[in-house]
Amino acid sequence: MSISRRATDAFALQVMLGLCLIWGVQQVIIKIAAPDIAPVMQAAARSGISALLVGLLICWKGGWNQVPATWRGGLLAGSLFGLEFFFISEGLQLTSAAHMSVFLYTAPIFTALGINWLLPSERLRPLQWLGIFLAFIGIAFSFAGGMSFADMDRNMLLGDAYGILAGMAWGATTVVVRGSRLSEAPVTLTLFYQLIVGFVGLLVIAAASGQISHISLTTVAVASVLFQGLVVSFFSYLVWFWLLKRYLASNLAVFSFMTPLFGVTFGVLVLHEPLSINFVVGAICVLLGITFVSAEQWVRRKVRALLGS
């Protein structure tokens, strides 16, 4: 029997506000703790902590019996998840948290393109194609730097590119989940695959690059890892999946776009990151494009209601 999902209410809005605050501050916390613990090691540690907790949750609620049918998709999704956080970790060493927050959230664009190719029943609608066009225009505008090539910061451009690659990896992870047997597996098992494979992969990368030794157990480092492992990767992800089971995904998608806005705000207020006009304009185009892609039905209803009035 299918579950009837309802439109978002005041409670859902309050919960989404809290989740977006958590997700938005995440990049800032990684940068603050980077001098004490390498970002790749932060990502590995948070994934390991969360994998342990989710594994215990599966032992309690069940789900291990589906491993034989889902492990291949799980390995692929986990590898992409680890790749996403590798790009985030490397990118944050070159670009600002504000830039990373916006470019990471291009993920829905790549998800929509992948699903459009993989699942003919979910072809993109004209408004979604418009959203994709707007998003890529925004990316191009953000990458434009200043009025001349001399104004461009090559390190920041590379970091921004890592942000987009992270968004691509995140989008590809969603496509793998939707297009494999993971779509029928318990949410906890799908999340466990991503966390445990990501943990192993990131730990290997940290060891190979020498970053595994870049650890100082300061208060900031420990607090960062615990916040990411307990609050972000475990608590917030499970709350998000709980919301998706009860509310319309298109409505939640609109509110989730507060995350990059919070990310930019925290980056400016906490890290004193500068914002160029080209990035602001480009970010607005990206966010509008993502809204058209992820919440197409919601946008269409609002437009019709506006025209009808």
Residue-by-residue DSSP string for 259-293: HHHHHHHHHHHHH-----HHHHHHHHHHHHHHHHH
Question: Residue 146: what pLDDT?
Answer: 45
Question: Residue 106: what pLDDT?
Answer: 86
Instruction: Give the tens place of pLDDT for each residue, 187-243.
Output: 899 999 999 999 999 999 999 988 888 888 899 999 999 999 999 999 998 898 888
Give the Cα separation of 96 and 273 in Å (integer).
7
Q: Give me Rg for the CA atoms of the chain.
A: 19
Give the Cα separation of 283 and 100 in Å (integer).
11
Share of the chain above pLDDT 90, in %: 45
pLDDT-derived band of residue 180, with 50, 70 and 90 as boundaries?
confident
Among 125-134, 145-154, 185-194, 242-251, the range scoring the smallest mean pLDDT is 145-154
Q: Is 304 a residue whose pLDDT tops 90?
A: no
Strand partners, 247: 6
Q: Is 175 a residue whose pLDDT tops 70?
A: yes
Give the Cα separation of 295 and 280 in Å (integer).
22
121 to each of 38, 70, 118, 270, how far by Cα in Å? Answer: 43, 23, 9, 45
Residues with Cβ within 8 Å of 132's Cβ and at least 6 positions away in sequence, in order, are 109, 112, 113, 124, 289, 293
Q: What angle do CA 167, 273, 148 make, to 5 degrees?
A: 80
Question: Residue 250: what pLDDT?
Answer: 62
Among 58-67, 155-164, 246-255, 285-294, the range scoring the smallest mean pLDDT is 246-255
